[in-house]
Structure 1
Amino acid sequence: MDERILVVDDEKDICEILGFNLSNEGYRVDTATSAEEALRKLTPEHALILLDVMMGGMSGYKMAEKLRHDGNRIPIIFLTAKDTENDMLTGFSVGGDDYIPKPFSIKEVVARVKAVLKRSAGQSAGPGQREGRLVFGDVTIDFDTKEVIIGPHAIPLTRTEFDILTTLASNPARVFSREDLIDRIWKDAPFVTERTVDVHITRLRKKLGAKASLISSRPGYGYRFNYTEE
């Protein structure tokens, strides 16, 4: 493997530890100790960012928000000492692909990096690999642009949100348990919990706005795509 990773953390020791261990896994690693430095160092060659949340100056959330606003879809894994549901919601809402609380194990970081990169490369099986579109009335799911189009408006989704939506929409008669979704969407990530699924569903519904009811929950069972032709 030869993917290039940018590690951003204001603690130099963490940068060095992650850099050393990821290099041993075969990755090319660059480090930065601030978001401002990271933005200067970031290049199109980078395949993923490991991004600390709490830093002096620009926070990790603000950096991610800026990248997404500028149209940069590079996968981002947040590293943070904060581990509440609201913090996870914030991380995913600004375009994060994963969220690792501190203190973390190196094995966990490596596993999550591999899983996110694999999803990013489109190697994992799933409905998002197919070309074309799914159309439900005035809602279109575009596999090429990875967007959901509601009427005239295109809504960009994170990679994980898009995978969840296409999994549900491609099987509208089926109720997916949280475990089912973890097996499909996070197949190679060993540390994902059912709460993570709920957080992503919450963010996805918020982005769908008036069409949030397309994703319905079955208490005790899971989630399904809920569309009825008018």
Structure 2
Amino acid sequence: MDVTPKILIVDDEQDLREILQFNLSSEGFEVDTAASAEEALTKELQSYHLILLDVMMGGMSGYKMADMVRKEHHLDTPIIFLTAKTSENDLLTGFNVGGDDYIVKPFSIKEVIVRIKAVLKRGSASGQATTSLQHEDMLVDVDRKTVSIKEEAINLTRKEFEILALLLRNKGKFISRQDILDRIWSNDVIVTERNVDVNIARLRKKIGNYGSLIVGRSGYGYCFEM
């Protein structure tokens, strides 16, 4: 990246905030912290390249904050959740509200740094191609990460956007659930094929009549029909 990545740490444990801030600053990141989701939401969230977000906090949960970041602030800033929860439902909840990765406590600082760099690298790589994808009245601006239908903006989460762009780039071709996972989620993230189904179900609803063009076939995956 041409600029120093700026990271926001949101956690109600002061010791953990200080440890993370010290180590991430030592890695060359610009780091800011917040002791609660409420405090974090008062900051200029659009200025951050990544948010490191604790799930269980005294006030608003990390899941609720992430949902607000996506739906109310309309930001696709990468979010990595920090949590002690490990069930599949917890993981799905994190990704369904727009999370990009999930680090389970207790963790090593080295693991956090590796995960952060991986997520930032994916975001940087996905933004290199300045191009648009279009199907009839639906326009997908890959560079600006926006979707519109008949010039009306459609609010998608980061994963929903990436899935739509992937399917549009491969119109008429079936892409397996595993291939979608491999392309859109990093290999070190614990997700299931069910997560792909959930995101596509939400995507279909959001793009209205075009949703029927996303066809699923058992054993083959998903395809955007010509």
TM > 0.5:
yes
**What is the Cα deviation at residue 111 of structure 1?**
2.8
Residue in 2 that maps onto 1:132: 132
SS of structure 1 residue aligned to 2:41: helix
CA distance in 2, matches of 1:43, 1:152: 26
Whether 1:56 aligns to 2:58 is: yes
CA contact (8 A) 2:24 2:31 kept: yes
Are the structure 2 counterparts of residues 169 and 44 from structure 1 closer, same or farther at C-alpha, using a change threshold of 3 Å? closer
The share of aligned pairs that are identical, in percent, is: 57
SS of structure 2 residue aligned to 1:66: helix
Are the structure 2 counterparts of residues 37 and 144 from structure 1 closer, same or farther at C-alpha, using a change threshold of 3 Å? same
CA contact (8 A) 1:7 1:31 kept: yes
Which one of 97, 100, 114 corresponds to residue 111 of structure 1?
114
CA contact (8 A) 1:186 1:192 kept: no
Residue in 2 that maps onto 1:191: 189
CA contact (8 A) 1:173 1:224 kept: yes
CA contact (8 A) 2:6 2:29 kept: yes
Residue in 1 that maps onto 2:148: 149
Residue in 2 that maps onto 1:23: 25
Root-mean-square deviation (CA), in Å?
3.0
What code does the residue aligned with 1:98 have?
D
Question: After the TM superposition, which of the residue ranges 57-66 and 195-204 deviates more from structure 2?
Answer: 195-204
**What is the Cα deviation at residue 209 of structure 1?**
4.4
Residue in 2 that maps onto 1:200: 199
What code does the residue aligned with 1:134 have?
Q
CA contact (8 A) 1:85 1:199 kept: no
CA contact (8 A) 2:5 2:48 kept: yes
What code does the residue aligned with 2:60 have?
M
Residue in 2 that maps onto 1:158: 157
**What is the Cα deviation at residue 62 of structure 1?**
2.7
Residue in 1 that maps onto 2:10: 8
CA contact (8 A) 1:50 1:77 kept: yes
Are the structure 2 counterparts of residues 152 and 85 from structure 1 closer, same or farther at C-alpha, using a change threshold of 3 Å? farther
CA contact (8 A) 2:213 2:225 kept: yes
What aligned pairs does 1:54-133 form with structure 2 within 5 A after superposition?
A: 54-68=56-70, 69-121=72-124, 123-124=125-126, 129-133=129-133
CA distance in 2, matches of 1:94, 1:20: 28
Whether 1:177 aligns to 2:182 is: no
CA contact (8 A) 1:96 1:158 kept: no
CA distance in 2, matches of 1:36, 1:224: 40
CA distance in 2, matches of 1:108, 1:26: 16
Stretches of 4+ aligned residues off by more than 6 angstroms: none
CA contact (8 A) 1:64 1:76 kept: yes
Deviations for 1:130-182, whole angstroms, at most 9, x for unmatched residues? 413311x4433333542333346421223332222111111123222233223
Are the structure 2 counterparts of residues 144 and 113 from structure 1 closer, same or farther at C-alpha, using a change threshold of 3 Å? same
Are the structure 2 counterparts of residues 186 and 93 from structure 1 closer, same or farther at C-alpha, using a change threshold of 3 Å? closer
How many pairs were matched up? 222
**What is the Cα deviation at residue 202 of structure 1?**
3.8
Question: Structure 2 unaligned runs (5+)?
Answer: none
**What is the Cα deviation at residue 85 of structure 1?**
4.4
